[in-house]
Chains A and B, each alone.
Chain A
Amino acid sequence: MKSGVIRSASFLLGLVLTITGCVQHQFYWGSYEDSLFSRQQHAGPEGETGAATMLISTINEAQSNPEHRVGPGIHADYGYLLLKQGNTDEAIGQFTKEGTLFPEAKPLMDTMITRIQERKKKEAEGKRAQ
């Protein structure tokens, strides 16, 4: 019986926190975690295309409201999806943005950008050699 009460209390607390938004939010998340779950459920290019759509909407929503601060990882994750789709220039743009918004991410974002540029350079050299 006691554990039943605790369970109900724990679930109610979850509901209260979720529904009322009485917890202060530091960041705007939009559908970031939905996009992660959707990719987990639908592996491969199709799931990634769907996730990319969710992320760009989330970024646009965050940018349209000055009180919203886009959540950490969202630009980086979107950039990563763009990179997988072969859109290297926009990927670099998103990685740069993540590193600017969050200095904690800058070392990793710089590594990603350097790798992309090295790969592009190699590809260009490969083409010239043919």
Chain B
Amino acid sequence: MRYLLWMIAPLSLFLLSGCVTAPTTDYATFFEHQPHSILVVPPANKTTAVDAPAVFLTTVSAAFAERGYYVFPVFLVQDILNDLGATDEGAIAAIPPDKFKEVFGTDSILYVTITDWSTSYVVLASNITVGAEYRLVDAATGEALWTHQERVVHNSGGGGGGIAGLVAAAVNAAVTAAAVQYRPIALQTNNLAANHRGRGLPAGPYHPDFQKDHESYQ
């Protein structure tokens, strides 16, 4: 069973790769500055959903840490940035990368811009879309180490089941606007972004593949 899953998972990744844009990362720069730690700053927002950045920020840590990196606690980071006067995305973007190194001791900064955060309704179901652009920057030099785009569309499905099914679908549609519906999709978006073999984040020092997977990331 487990063996079968190991075969299916890469295949699904392959299928999935059709829906994201080509990467722009040159991994030579990444490996030259191989980071050990990642500071995730509060995301920028290109959508009209005002609570998207705050919800998204709660879904990034484990996905990227599981690739083998130290990820700083996001709320502590956010509050320290607030204390320093960086309370919005413009102010955060204006901070020179080496300042993050000085204040937090981080190797790299992960800037996220949310590009999609919406629900579209069809007759008996709804699609929730979450999309984001990622840019990992070397804190010492300001060089971009990795950029990536990811977009996940989750179809809630109408389901079957006659009248009961219809009622269930109506109830689903009524609550889809809530943050709680977006959160699992955002978690999935981050997991996919970090784990794309060949285009995600190469294994970091806490991962058993550290420095063994360079061939897959070129």
Contacts and interface: CB of A to CB of B under 8 A. Distances in A.
Interface in B175-213: 179-180, 183, 187-188, 191-192, 195, 206-208
Interface in A3-24: 3-14, 16-17, 20, 22-24
A8 B55 CA distance: 24
A106 B76 contact: no
Contacts of A40: 54-55, 57-58, 179
B82 interface: no
A76 interface: yes
B65 A27 contact: yes
A36 B37 contact: no
The secondary structure that dominates the A interface is helix
Contacts of B54: 40
Given A25-B66, A72-B65, A104-B107, A33 B153 contact: no
Interface residues of A, number: 43
Nearest to A72: B70
B5 A20 contact: yes
B88 to A, nearest CB: 17
Contacts of B183: 37
A80 B105 contact: no
Contacts of B79: 80
A12 B12 contact: yes
Interface string B3-14: 001101100110
B2 to A, nearest CB: 7
B66 A13 contact: no
B55 to A, nearest CB: 6
Counting chain B residues whose Cβ lies within 8 A of the other chain, the interface size class is 35 or more
B104 interface: yes
Contact of B105 (A29, A41, A72, A106): A106
B153 A7 contact: yes
Nearest to B56: A40
Contact of B191 (A8, A17, A20, A41): A17
B59 interface: yes
Interface in A88-115: 102, 104-108
Nearest to A98: B73
Contacts of B107: 104
A10 B71 contact: no
Given A72-B71, A104-B70, A17 B208 contact: no
A130 interface: no
Contacts of B106: 104
Q: Which of B66, B73, B179 counts the most A-chain CB atoms under 10 A from its CB?
A: B73
8 contacts: A9-B16, A26-B65, A36-B61, A40-B57, A72-B70, A76-B72, A102-B70, A108-B105
Given A10-B16, A11-B152, A23-B66, 4 more contacts: A2-B18, A11-B155, A11-B188, A104-B105
Interface of B: 2, 5-6, 8-9, 12-13, 15-16, 18-19, 36-37, 54-55, 57-59, 61-62, 65-66, 68-76, 79, 103-107, 152-155, 179-180, 183, 187-188, 191-192, 195, 206-208
